[in-house]
Chain A
Protein backbone atom coordinates (compact mmCIF):
# COMPACT_ATOMS: atom_id res chain seq x y z
CA UNK A 1 0.00 0.00 0.00
CA UNK A 2 2.89 2.35 0.83
CA UNK A 3 4.34 1.70 -2.64
CA UNK A 4 1.00 2.33 -4.34
CA UNK A 5 0.67 5.65 -2.52
CA UNK A 6 4.20 6.69 -3.54
CA UNK A 7 3.39 5.80 -7.16
CA UNK A 8 0.15 7.79 -7.14
CA UNK A 9 1.92 10.77 -5.62
CA UNK A 10 4.45 10.71 -8.47
CA UNK A 11 1.66 10.39 -11.05
CA UNK A 12 -0.37 13.25 -9.56
CA UNK A 13 2.46 15.75 -9.78
CA UNK A 14 3.90 14.66 -13.12
CA UNK A 15 1.03 15.91 -15.29
CA UNK A 16 0.37 19.54 -16.06
CA UNK A 17 -3.36 19.24 -15.45
CA UNK A 18 -2.78 19.18 -11.69
CA UNK A 19 -0.84 22.43 -11.78
CA UNK A 20 -3.36 24.09 -14.07
CA UNK A 21 -6.28 23.08 -11.86
CA UNK A 22 -4.49 24.52 -8.81
CA UNK A 23 -3.80 27.75 -10.65
CA UNK A 24 -7.46 27.88 -11.65
CA UNK A 25 -8.53 27.21 -8.05
CA UNK A 26 -6.29 30.01 -6.78
CA UNK A 27 -7.57 32.39 -9.46
CA UNK A 28 -11.20 31.59 -8.71
CA UNK A 29 -10.66 31.97 -4.97
CA UNK A 30 -8.96 35.35 -5.37
CA UNK A 31 -11.47 36.63 -7.90
CA UNK A 32 -14.56 35.63 -5.95
CA UNK A 33 -13.29 36.78 -2.56
CA UNK A 34 -12.06 40.13 -3.91
CA UNK A 35 -15.19 40.79 -5.94
CA UNK A 36 -17.43 39.90 -3.01
CA UNK A 37 -15.43 42.01 -0.59
CA UNK A 38 -15.56 45.03 -2.85
CA UNK A 39 -19.30 44.53 -3.44
CA UNK A 40 -20.13 44.21 0.26
CA UNK A 41 -17.96 47.20 1.04
CA UNK A 42 -19.81 49.25 -1.59
CA UNK A 43 -23.21 48.18 -0.28
CA UNK A 44 -22.25 49.39 3.20
CA UNK A 45 -21.05 52.68 1.76
CA UNK A 46 -24.43 53.08 0.03
CA UNK A 47 -26.23 52.18 3.25
CA UNK A 48 -28.37 49.50 1.58
CA UNK A 49 -31.06 48.24 4.00
CA UNK A 50 -30.95 44.68 5.40
CA UNK A 51 -27.19 44.26 5.33
CA UNK A 52 -25.72 41.88 7.85
CA UNK A 53 -22.05 42.21 8.68
CA UNK A 54 -19.76 39.65 7.03
CA UNK A 55 -16.54 38.38 8.59
CA UNK A 56 -13.46 37.89 6.40
CA UNK A 57 -13.30 34.26 7.57
CA UNK A 58 -16.67 33.49 5.92
CA UNK A 59 -15.65 34.61 2.47
CA UNK A 60 -13.25 31.78 1.48
CA UNK A 61 -16.03 29.34 2.43
CA UNK A 62 -18.43 30.90 -0.02
CA UNK A 63 -15.82 30.95 -2.79
CA UNK A 64 -15.00 27.30 -2.09
CA UNK A 65 -18.63 26.18 -2.33
CA UNK A 66 -19.43 28.11 -5.49
CA UNK A 67 -16.23 27.85 -7.50
CA UNK A 68 -13.01 26.58 -5.99
CA UNK A 69 -14.20 23.08 -5.19
CA UNK A 70 -14.86 22.28 -8.85
CA UNK A 71 -11.33 23.14 -9.91
CA UNK A 72 -10.06 21.01 -7.01
CA UNK A 73 -12.41 18.11 -7.75
CA UNK A 74 -11.20 18.16 -11.37
CA UNK A 75 -7.74 17.19 -10.08
CA UNK A 76 -9.22 14.10 -8.43
CA UNK A 77 -11.45 13.26 -11.40
CA UNK A 78 -8.56 13.51 -13.87
CA UNK A 79 -6.32 11.37 -11.67
CA UNK A 80 -8.73 8.48 -12.33
CA UNK A 81 -10.32 9.15 -15.71
CA UNK A 82 -6.97 10.13 -17.23
CA UNK A 83 -5.92 6.52 -16.66
CA UNK A 84 -8.85 5.20 -18.65
CA UNK A 85 -8.67 7.84 -21.38
CA UNK A 86 -5.04 6.94 -22.08
CA UNK A 87 -5.07 3.25 -21.04
CA UNK A 88 -2.60 4.06 -18.28
CA UNK A 89 -4.78 1.78 -16.21
CA UNK A 90 -2.97 -1.18 -17.83
CA UNK A 91 0.48 -0.46 -16.36
CA UNK A 92 -1.15 0.78 -13.16
CA UNK A 93 -2.98 -2.49 -12.53
CA UNK A 94 0.01 -4.53 -13.64
CA UNK A 95 2.02 -2.82 -10.93
CA UNK A 96 -0.78 -2.98 -8.33
CA UNK A 97 -2.96 -5.99 -9.17
CA UNK A 98 -4.79 -5.99 -5.84
CA UNK A 99 -7.32 -3.63 -7.26
CA UNK A 100 -8.85 -1.88 -4.26
CA UNK A 101 -5.41 -0.50 -3.47
CA UNK A 102 -5.41 1.68 -6.58
CA UNK A 103 -8.39 3.91 -5.68
CA UNK A 104 -7.38 3.74 -2.01
CA UNK A 105 -3.92 5.09 -2.84
CA UNK A 106 -5.40 7.74 -5.12
CA UNK A 107 -7.79 8.78 -2.33
CA UNK A 108 -4.98 9.12 0.22
CA UNK A 109 -2.83 11.15 -2.14
CA UNK A 110 -5.68 13.37 -3.33
CA UNK A 111 -6.99 13.98 0.18
CA UNK A 112 -3.53 14.99 1.41
CA UNK A 113 -2.88 17.27 -1.57
CA UNK A 114 -6.30 18.93 -1.49
CA UNK A 115 -6.24 19.43 2.27
CA UNK A 116 -2.88 21.17 2.07
CA UNK A 117 -3.87 23.24 -0.96
CA UNK A 118 -7.20 24.16 0.66
CA UNK A 119 -5.45 25.48 3.76
CA UNK A 120 -2.83 27.26 1.70
CA UNK A 121 -5.49 28.93 -0.46
CA UNK A 122 -7.84 29.87 2.37
CA UNK A 123 -5.16 31.71 4.34
CA UNK A 124 -4.37 34.43 1.77
CA UNK A 125 -8.09 34.50 0.90
CA UNK A 126 -8.92 35.64 4.44
CA UNK A 127 -6.30 38.34 4.12
CA UNK A 128 -7.74 39.38 0.74
CA UNK A 129 -11.25 39.49 2.24
CA UNK A 130 -9.92 41.66 5.05
CA UNK A 131 -8.37 44.08 2.59
CA UNK A 132 -11.42 44.37 0.35
CA UNK A 133 -14.00 44.54 3.15
CA UNK A 134 -11.90 47.26 4.79
CA UNK A 135 -13.65 48.73 7.84
CA UNK A 136 -16.96 46.99 7.04
CA UNK A 137 -15.80 43.48 7.94
CA UNK A 138 -17.38 41.88 11.01
CA UNK A 139 -14.99 41.06 13.83
CA UNK A 140 -13.59 37.52 14.09
CA UNK A 141 -11.26 35.62 16.36
CA UNK A 142 -8.10 33.60 15.85
CA UNK A 143 -10.27 30.53 16.43
CA UNK A 144 -12.45 31.55 13.47
CA UNK A 145 -9.36 31.69 11.27
CA UNK A 146 -8.23 28.23 12.35
CA UNK A 147 -11.77 26.89 11.87
CA UNK A 148 -11.97 28.25 8.31
CA UNK A 149 -8.52 27.00 7.32
CA UNK A 150 -9.06 23.49 8.69
CA UNK A 151 -12.63 23.01 7.50
CA UNK A 152 -11.97 24.33 3.99
CA UNK A 153 -9.03 21.91 3.82
CA UNK A 154 -11.10 19.04 5.20
CA UNK A 155 -14.04 19.77 2.93
CA UNK A 156 -11.86 19.81 -0.20
CA UNK A 157 -10.11 16.61 0.91
CA UNK A 158 -13.46 14.83 1.36
CA UNK A 159 -14.80 16.13 -1.96
CA UNK A 160 -11.58 14.78 -3.48
CA UNK A 161 -12.18 11.31 -2.04
CA UNK A 162 -15.84 11.41 -3.10
CA UNK A 163 -14.68 12.29 -6.62
CA UNK A 164 -12.12 9.46 -6.70
CA UNK A 165 -14.88 7.01 -5.79
CA UNK A 166 -17.33 8.31 -8.39
CA UNK A 167 -14.66 8.45 -11.10
CA UNK A 168 -13.49 4.90 -10.36
CA UNK A 169 -17.05 3.66 -10.76
CA UNK A 170 -17.82 5.67 -13.93
CA UNK A 171 -14.36 5.84 -15.62
CA UNK A 172 -15.40 8.86 -17.68
CA UNK A 173 -14.62 12.50 -16.98
CA UNK A 174 -17.91 13.97 -18.20
CA UNK A 175 -20.07 11.48 -16.32
CA UNK A 176 -18.00 11.98 -13.18
CA UNK A 177 -18.28 15.76 -13.21
CA UNK A 178 -22.02 15.55 -13.97
CA UNK A 179 -22.69 13.36 -10.93
CA UNK A 180 -20.44 15.52 -8.79
CA UNK A 181 -22.11 18.76 -9.89
CA UNK A 182 -25.50 17.22 -9.13
CA UNK A 183 -24.46 16.29 -5.59
CA UNK A 184 -22.64 19.53 -4.82
CA UNK A 185 -24.78 22.12 -6.59
CA UNK A 186 -27.97 20.94 -8.25
CA UNK A 187 -29.49 18.93 -5.41
CA UNK A 188 -28.79 21.57 -2.73
CA UNK A 189 -30.60 24.17 -4.88
CA UNK A 190 -33.49 21.96 -5.99
CA UNK A 191 -34.11 20.72 -2.44
CA UNK A 192 -34.96 24.21 -1.23
CA UNK A 193 -38.53 23.72 -2.56
CA UNK A 194 -40.07 22.68 0.76
CA UNK A 195 -39.18 22.47 4.43
CA UNK A 196 -39.05 18.66 4.34
CA UNK A 197 -36.54 18.71 1.49
CA UNK A 198 -34.66 21.58 3.13
CA UNK A 199 -34.20 19.42 6.21
CA UNK A 200 -33.07 16.48 4.10
CA UNK A 201 -30.68 18.62 2.09
CA UNK A 202 -28.33 18.71 5.07
CA UNK A 203 -27.56 15.08 4.22
CA UNK A 204 -26.42 15.97 0.70
CA UNK A 205 -22.68 16.74 0.23
CA UNK A 206 -23.09 20.37 -0.90
CA UNK A 207 -25.12 21.55 2.11
CA UNK A 208 -23.20 19.29 4.49
CA UNK A 209 -20.09 21.17 3.36
CA UNK A 210 -21.68 24.50 4.26
CA UNK A 211 -22.71 23.09 7.66
CA UNK A 212 -19.13 22.03 8.21
CA UNK A 213 -17.35 25.15 7.03
CA UNK A 214 -19.76 27.78 8.33
CA UNK A 215 -19.79 26.02 11.66
CA UNK A 216 -23.58 25.61 11.88
CA UNK A 217 -23.31 21.83 12.31
CA UNK A 218 -19.66 20.91 12.13
CA UNK A 219 -19.85 17.31 13.30
CA UNK A 220 -22.96 16.37 11.30
CA UNK A 221 -21.55 18.05 8.20
CA UNK A 222 -18.27 16.16 8.53
CA UNK A 223 -19.99 12.83 9.15
CA UNK A 224 -22.35 13.24 6.19
CA UNK A 225 -19.42 14.03 3.90
CA UNK A 226 -17.40 11.10 5.23
CA UNK A 227 -20.38 8.78 4.68
CA UNK A 228 -20.81 9.94 1.07
CA UNK A 229 -17.09 9.67 0.37
CA UNK A 230 -16.97 6.17 1.87
CA UNK A 231 -20.03 5.03 -0.09
CA UNK A 232 -18.53 6.35 -3.33
CA UNK A 233 -15.19 4.65 -2.62
CA UNK A 234 -16.81 1.31 -1.86
CA UNK A 235 -18.90 1.53 -5.03
CA UNK A 236 -15.80 2.39 -7.05
CA UNK A 237 -13.80 -0.48 -5.56
CA UNK A 238 -16.59 -2.99 -6.23
CA UNK A 239 -16.94 -1.86 -9.84
CA UNK A 240 -13.17 -1.94 -10.34
CA UNK A 241 -13.04 -5.46 -8.96
CA UNK A 242 -15.92 -6.79 -11.05
CA UNK A 243 -15.20 -5.14 -14.38
CA UNK A 244 -12.36 -6.04 -16.72
CA UNK A 245 -9.77 -3.31 -16.93
Chain B
Protein backbone atom coordinates (compact mmCIF):
# COMPACT_ATOMS: atom_id res chain seq x y z
CA UNK B 1 0.00 0.00 0.00
CA UNK B 2 1.29 3.42 -0.98
CA UNK B 3 -0.05 6.47 0.84
CA UNK B 4 0.40 10.00 -0.43
CA UNK B 5 -0.57 12.71 2.03
CA UNK B 6 -0.80 16.23 0.68
CA UNK B 7 2.27 15.51 -1.40
CA UNK B 8 3.71 18.66 -2.97
CA UNK B 9 6.79 19.40 -5.05
CA UNK B 10 7.48 23.02 -5.87
CA UNK B 11 10.35 24.24 -8.01
CA UNK B 12 11.37 27.86 -8.35
CA UNK B 13 8.71 28.83 -10.85
CA UNK B 14 6.43 25.82 -11.12
CA UNK B 15 4.46 23.47 -8.96
CA UNK B 16 5.09 19.96 -10.29
CA UNK B 17 2.90 18.13 -7.78
CA UNK B 18 0.26 20.03 -5.89
CA UNK B 19 -1.19 18.54 -2.74
CA UNK B 20 -1.80 15.02 -4.03
CA UNK B 21 -3.62 12.96 -1.44
CA UNK B 22 -4.54 9.36 -2.16
CA UNK B 23 -3.93 5.72 -1.38
CA UNK B 24 -2.77 3.02 -3.78
CA UNK B 25 -4.12 -0.30 -2.52
CA UNK B 26 -2.69 -3.77 -2.61
CA UNK B 27 -4.20 -6.49 -4.77
CA UNK B 28 -5.05 -4.04 -7.54
CA UNK B 29 -3.40 -2.59 -10.59
CA UNK B 30 -3.69 1.16 -10.14
CA UNK B 31 -3.16 3.28 -13.21
CA UNK B 32 -1.65 6.72 -12.89
CA UNK B 33 -2.91 8.67 -15.84
CA UNK B 34 -2.05 12.15 -17.01
CA UNK B 35 -0.63 14.13 -19.90
CA UNK B 36 3.11 14.65 -20.28
CA UNK B 37 4.41 16.98 -17.60
CA UNK B 38 1.43 16.40 -15.31
CA UNK B 39 3.61 15.29 -12.41
CA UNK B 40 3.46 11.50 -12.71
CA UNK B 41 7.19 10.88 -12.71
CA UNK B 42 7.87 13.47 -10.02
CA UNK B 43 5.28 11.79 -7.80
CA UNK B 44 6.89 8.40 -8.34
CA UNK B 45 10.35 9.83 -7.69
CA UNK B 46 9.14 11.25 -4.38
CA UNK B 47 7.65 7.89 -3.38
CA UNK B 48 11.06 6.34 -4.06
CA UNK B 49 12.96 8.96 -2.09
CA UNK B 50 14.77 10.26 -5.16
CA UNK B 51 13.21 13.71 -4.93
CA UNK B 52 12.48 15.39 -1.62
CA UNK B 53 8.87 16.62 -1.30
CA UNK B 54 8.48 20.35 -0.61
CA UNK B 55 5.74 19.34 1.80
CA UNK B 56 3.59 16.34 2.55
CA UNK B 57 4.63 12.71 2.78
CA UNK B 58 4.80 9.56 0.71
CA UNK B 59 4.94 6.26 2.56
CA UNK B 60 4.98 2.60 1.61
CA UNK B 61 3.20 0.36 4.09
CA UNK B 62 3.48 3.30 6.47
CA UNK B 63 7.23 3.75 6.10
CA UNK B 64 9.24 6.38 4.22
CA UNK B 65 11.29 4.82 1.43
CA UNK B 66 14.66 5.68 2.93
CA UNK B 67 13.66 4.02 6.21
CA UNK B 68 12.85 0.68 4.60
CA UNK B 69 15.35 -1.92 5.69
CA UNK B 70 15.66 -3.84 2.41
CA UNK B 71 14.15 -1.45 -0.13
CA UNK B 72 14.51 -3.65 -3.23
CA UNK B 73 12.84 -6.52 -1.42
CA UNK B 74 9.92 -4.26 -0.50
CA UNK B 75 9.48 -2.02 -3.53
CA UNK B 76 10.42 -2.77 -7.12
CA UNK B 77 10.50 0.21 -9.40
CA UNK B 78 11.19 1.06 -13.01
CA UNK B 79 11.55 4.77 -13.72
CA UNK B 80 13.79 4.80 -16.76
CA UNK B 81 14.52 1.71 -18.83
CA UNK B 82 17.82 3.17 -20.01
CA UNK B 83 19.05 3.92 -16.48
CA UNK B 84 22.37 2.20 -15.94
CA UNK B 85 25.78 2.04 -17.54
CA UNK B 86 25.44 1.08 -21.23
CA UNK B 87 28.75 -0.77 -21.08
CA UNK B 88 27.65 -3.08 -18.29
CA UNK B 89 26.05 -6.42 -19.12
CA UNK B 90 22.47 -7.10 -18.11
CA UNK B 91 23.69 -9.77 -15.69
CA UNK B 92 26.28 -7.49 -14.07
CA UNK B 93 23.70 -4.71 -13.69
CA UNK B 94 21.32 -7.04 -11.88
CA UNK B 95 24.13 -8.68 -9.88
CA UNK B 96 25.17 -5.31 -8.47
CA UNK B 97 21.56 -4.62 -7.45
CA UNK B 98 21.22 -8.10 -5.92
CA UNK B 99 24.39 -7.57 -3.88
CA UNK B 100 23.22 -4.11 -2.81
CA UNK B 101 20.16 -5.59 -1.23
CA UNK B 102 21.80 -8.76 0.06
CA UNK B 103 20.14 -11.21 -2.29
CA UNK B 104 21.92 -14.36 -3.49
CA UNK B 105 23.32 -13.96 -6.99
CA UNK B 106 21.26 -16.90 -8.28
CA UNK B 107 18.12 -14.73 -8.06
CA UNK B 108 19.61 -12.84 -11.02
CA UNK B 109 19.44 -15.83 -13.34
CA UNK B 110 15.91 -16.58 -12.20
CA UNK B 111 14.70 -13.07 -12.91
CA UNK B 112 16.54 -12.91 -16.26
CA UNK B 113 14.70 -16.07 -17.22
CA UNK B 114 11.40 -14.61 -16.06
CA UNK B 115 11.69 -11.58 -18.36
CA UNK B 116 13.14 -13.64 -21.22
CA UNK B 117 16.62 -12.11 -21.33
CA UNK B 118 18.65 -15.23 -20.49
CA UNK B 119 20.16 -15.44 -23.98
CA UNK B 120 21.44 -11.87 -23.93
CA UNK B 121 22.40 -11.71 -20.24
CA UNK B 122 26.07 -11.27 -21.05
CA UNK B 123 25.54 -8.56 -23.65
CA UNK B 124 26.13 -4.92 -22.86
CA UNK B 125 22.91 -3.16 -21.94
CA UNK B 126 23.72 -0.28 -24.29
CA UNK B 127 23.24 -2.60 -27.26
CA UNK B 128 19.67 -3.47 -26.21
CA UNK B 129 16.61 -2.33 -28.11
CA UNK B 130 14.17 -0.21 -26.13
CA UNK B 131 11.96 -3.25 -25.64
CA UNK B 132 14.84 -5.31 -24.23
CA UNK B 133 15.93 -2.41 -22.02
CA UNK B 134 12.37 -2.21 -20.73
CA UNK B 135 12.48 -5.91 -19.87
CA UNK B 136 15.79 -5.41 -18.07
CA UNK B 137 14.24 -2.57 -16.08
CA UNK B 138 11.32 -4.82 -15.17
CA UNK B 139 13.78 -7.57 -14.18
CA UNK B 140 15.42 -5.10 -11.79
CA UNK B 141 12.01 -4.25 -10.35
CA UNK B 142 11.11 -7.92 -9.84
CA UNK B 143 14.54 -8.92 -8.49
CA UNK B 144 13.70 -8.69 -4.79
CA UNK B 145 10.23 -10.26 -5.17
CA UNK B 146 8.69 -7.06 -3.77
CA UNK B 147 5.14 -6.59 -2.52
CA UNK B 148 4.94 -3.15 -4.14
CA UNK B 149 5.70 -2.38 -7.79
CA UNK B 150 6.03 1.11 -9.22
CA UNK B 151 6.48 1.32 -12.97
CA UNK B 152 6.72 4.54 -14.96
CA UNK B 153 5.32 4.04 -18.48
CA UNK B 154 6.17 0.31 -18.52
CA UNK B 155 4.57 -0.32 -21.91
CA UNK B 156 6.67 2.30 -23.71
CA UNK B 157 8.75 0.78 -26.47
CA UNK B 158 7.33 -2.70 -26.16
CA UNK B 159 6.06 -4.53 -29.23
CA UNK B 160 2.66 -6.23 -29.29
CA UNK B 161 4.07 -9.38 -27.72
CA UNK B 162 5.77 -7.34 -25.02
CA UNK B 163 2.60 -5.41 -24.24
CA UNK B 164 0.61 -8.61 -23.85
CA UNK B 165 3.36 -10.10 -21.72
CA UNK B 166 3.44 -7.15 -19.36
CA UNK B 167 -0.34 -7.04 -19.08
CA UNK B 168 -0.41 -10.66 -17.99
CA UNK B 169 2.54 -10.13 -15.67
CA UNK B 170 1.00 -7.14 -13.90
CA UNK B 171 -2.38 -8.83 -13.61
CA UNK B 172 -0.70 -11.87 -12.06
CA UNK B 173 1.27 -9.74 -9.60
CA UNK B 174 -1.85 -7.88 -8.48
CA UNK B 175 -3.77 -11.14 -8.15
CA UNK B 176 -1.04 -12.38 -5.81
CA UNK B 177 -2.00 -9.48 -3.55
CA UNK B 178 0.76 -7.08 -4.51
CA UNK B 179 0.39 -3.35 -4.98
CA UNK B 180 0.93 -2.49 -8.65
CA UNK B 181 1.19 1.20 -9.54
CA UNK B 182 1.79 2.07 -13.19
CA UNK B 183 1.76 5.36 -15.02
CA UNK B 184 0.77 6.08 -18.58
CA UNK B 185 -0.28 8.99 -20.71
CA UNK B 186 -2.57 6.73 -22.74
CA UNK B 187 -6.05 5.91 -21.54
CA UNK B 188 -6.35 2.99 -23.95
CA UNK B 189 -3.33 1.31 -22.39
CA UNK B 190 -4.57 1.55 -18.82
CA UNK B 191 -8.12 0.57 -19.73
CA UNK B 192 -6.87 -2.96 -20.39
CA UNK B 193 -4.64 -3.27 -17.33
CA UNK B 194 -5.82 -1.11 -14.50
CA UNK B 195 -8.50 -1.78 -11.90
CA UNK B 196 -8.32 1.71 -10.45
CA UNK B 197 -7.38 4.99 -11.93
CA UNK B 198 -5.70 8.07 -10.53
CA UNK B 199 -5.86 10.93 -12.99
CA UNK B 200 -3.43 13.78 -12.56
CA UNK B 201 -3.15 17.05 -14.44
CA UNK B 202 -0.89 19.99 -13.74
CA UNK B 203 0.17 18.36 -10.52
CA UNK B 204 -3.35 18.05 -9.13
CA UNK B 205 -5.30 14.86 -8.61
CA UNK B 206 -8.38 15.09 -10.86
CA UNK B 207 -9.92 11.68 -10.34
CA UNK B 208 -9.49 8.72 -8.02
CA UNK B 209 -11.96 6.03 -8.98
CA UNK B 210 -12.35 2.49 -10.22
CA UNK B 211 -11.92 1.96 -13.93
CA UNK B 212 -15.61 1.02 -14.26
CA UNK B 213 -16.67 4.28 -12.60
CA UNK B 214 -14.46 6.34 -14.84
CA UNK B 215 -15.88 4.64 -17.89
CA UNK B 216 -19.43 5.03 -16.67
CA UNK B 217 -18.87 8.69 -15.81
CA UNK B 218 -17.15 9.37 -19.10
CA UNK B 219 -20.34 9.02 -21.10
CA UNK B 220 -18.57 6.40 -23.17
CA UNK B 221 -21.17 4.11 -24.66
CA UNK B 222 -21.06 0.35 -24.30
CA UNK B 223 -21.82 -1.19 -27.68
CA UNK B 224 -23.60 -4.52 -27.49
CA UNK B 225 -24.44 -6.75 -30.43
CA UNK B 226 -27.25 -9.18 -29.88
CA UNK B 227 -29.83 -11.01 -31.97
CA UNK B 228 -32.36 -10.28 -29.20
CA UNK B 229 -31.99 -6.51 -29.26
CA UNK B 230 -35.53 -5.75 -28.17
CA UNK B 231 -35.44 -7.98 -25.09
CA UNK B 232 -32.07 -6.62 -23.97
CA UNK B 233 -33.22 -3.06 -24.65
CA UNK B 234 -36.09 -3.52 -22.26
CA UNK B 235 -33.97 -5.19 -19.60
CA UNK B 236 -31.30 -2.51 -19.72
CA UNK B 237 -33.80 0.30 -19.65
CA UNK B 238 -35.39 -1.40 -16.68
CA UNK B 239 -32.01 -1.34 -14.93
CA UNK B 240 -31.82 2.41 -15.41
CA UNK B 241 -29.41 2.51 -18.33
CA UNK B 242 -29.74 4.91 -21.22
CA UNK B 243 -30.19 2.77 -24.32
CA UNK B 244 -30.17 3.69 -28.02
CA UNK B 245 -30.81 1.27 -30.87
CA UNK B 246 -27.96 1.84 -33.31
CA UNK B 247 -28.67 -1.05 -35.67
CA UNK B 248 -30.93 -4.06 -36.08
CA UNK B 249 -28.70 -6.08 -33.79
CA UNK B 250 -26.86 -3.37 -31.93
CA UNK B 251 -27.52 -1.21 -28.90
CA UNK B 252 -25.49 1.70 -27.52
CA UNK B 253 -25.77 1.81 -23.76
CA UNK B 254 -24.61 4.67 -21.56
CA UNK B 255 -24.55 5.16 -17.82
CA UNK B 256 -23.44 1.62 -16.99
CA UNK B 257 -20.23 -0.34 -17.41
CA UNK B 258 -19.66 -3.11 -19.93
CA UNK B 259 -19.52 -5.58 -17.06
CA UNK B 260 -22.99 -4.52 -15.91
CA UNK B 261 -24.40 -4.83 -19.43
CA UNK B 262 -22.98 -8.32 -19.69
CA UNK B 263 -24.43 -9.27 -16.31
CA UNK B 264 -27.87 -7.95 -17.23
CA UNK B 265 -27.79 -9.82 -20.55
CA UNK B 266 -26.85 -13.00 -18.73
CA UNK B 267 -29.58 -12.54 -16.14
CA UNK B 268 -32.11 -11.91 -18.91
CA UNK B 269 -30.98 -14.94 -20.85
CA UNK B 270 -30.15 -12.90 -23.93
CA UNK B 271 -27.42 -14.02 -26.35
CA UNK B 272 -24.59 -11.51 -26.73
CA UNK B 273 -22.37 -11.55 -29.84
CA UNK B 274 -20.24 -8.55 -29.05
CA UNK B 275 -19.59 -6.24 -26.15
CA UNK B 276 -17.20 -3.31 -26.43
CA UNK B 277 -16.65 0.06 -24.89
CA UNK B 278 -16.73 2.91 -27.40
CA UNK B 279 -13.05 3.83 -27.50
CA UNK B 280 -13.41 7.26 -29.06
CA UNK B 281 -15.55 8.61 -26.27
CA UNK B 282 -13.32 7.06 -23.63
CA UNK B 283 -10.33 8.98 -24.97
CA UNK B 284 -12.61 11.97 -25.15
CA UNK B 285 -13.52 11.59 -21.51
CA UNK B 286 -9.87 11.59 -20.60
CA UNK B 287 -9.26 14.68 -22.72
CA UNK B 288 -12.25 16.39 -21.10
CA UNK B 289 -10.84 15.58 -17.68
CA UNK B 290 -7.43 16.96 -18.48
CA UNK B 291 -8.12 19.76 -20.98
CA UNK B 292 -7.51 22.45 -18.42
CA UNK B 293 -4.44 20.73 -17.16
CA UNK B 294 -2.30 20.08 -20.19
CA UNK B 295 1.06 21.65 -19.60
CA UNK B 296 2.25 21.90 -23.18
CA UNK B 297 -1.07 21.91 -25.04
CA UNK B 298 -1.74 23.03 -28.57
CA UNK B 299 -4.70 25.19 -29.45
CA UNK B 300 -7.52 22.99 -30.60
- Interface residues of chain A, those whose CB is within 8 Å of chain B, are 3-4, 6-11, 14-17, 82-83, 86-99, 244-245
Interface presence of B66 (CB below 8 A): yes
Q: State the Cβ distance, B100 to closest chain A Cβ, in Å.
A: 4
**Given A10-B92, A95-B97 in contact, is the A86-B66 Cβ separation under 8 Å?**
no
What are the residues of chain B within 8 A of A94 when measuring CB–CB? 48, 50, 71-72, 75, 77
Give 25 CB contacts A-B under 8 Å.
Answer: A3-B99, A3-B100, A3-B102, A6-B100, A10-B95, A10-B96, A11-B92, A14-B85, A14-B95, A15-B88, A16-B87, A87-B83, A90-B83, A91-B140, A93-B49, A93-B50, A94-B75, A95-B71, A95-B100, A95-B101, A97-B49, A97-B66, A99-B66, A244-B51, A245-B45
Q: From DSSP, what is the main secondary structure of chain A's interface residues?
A: helix
What are the residues of chain A within 8 A of B83 when measuring CB–CB? 86-91
Q: State the Cβ distance, A110 to closest chain B Cβ, in Å.
A: 15
What are the residues of chain B within 8 A of A98 when measuring CB–CB? 66
Distance of A92 Cα from B83 Cα, bound (Å): 10
What are the residues of chain B within 8 A of A86 when measuring CB–CB? 82-86
What are the residues of chain B within 8 A of A14 when measuring CB–CB? 85, 88-89, 92-93, 95-96
A90: contacting residue among B52, B68, B79, CB under 8 A: B79
A244-B101 in contact (CB<8A): no
B51: contacting residue among A3, A82, A92, A245, CB under 8 A: A245
Within 8 A of A (CB), among B59-112: 65-66, 68, 71-72, 75, 77, 79-80, 82-89, 92-93, 95-97, 99-102
Interface residues of B toward A: which range?
20 to 34
Q: State the Cβ distance, B36 to closest chain A Cβ, in Å.
A: 18
**Given A90-B79, A244-B50 in contact, is the A6-B99 Cβ separation under 8 Å?**
yes
Task: Using CB atoms, name the residue of chain A closest to B50.
Answer: A245
What are the residues of chain A within 8 A of B96 when measuring CB–CB? 7-8, 10-11, 14
What are the residues of chain B within 8 A of A92 when measuring CB–CB? 100
What are the residues of chain A within 8 A of B45 when measuring CB–CB? 244-245
B51-A91 in contact (CB<8A): no
Beyond A4-B100, A14-B96, 5 extra complex contacts between A and B, CB < 8 Å: A3-B102, A97-B68, A98-B66, A244-B51, A245-B50
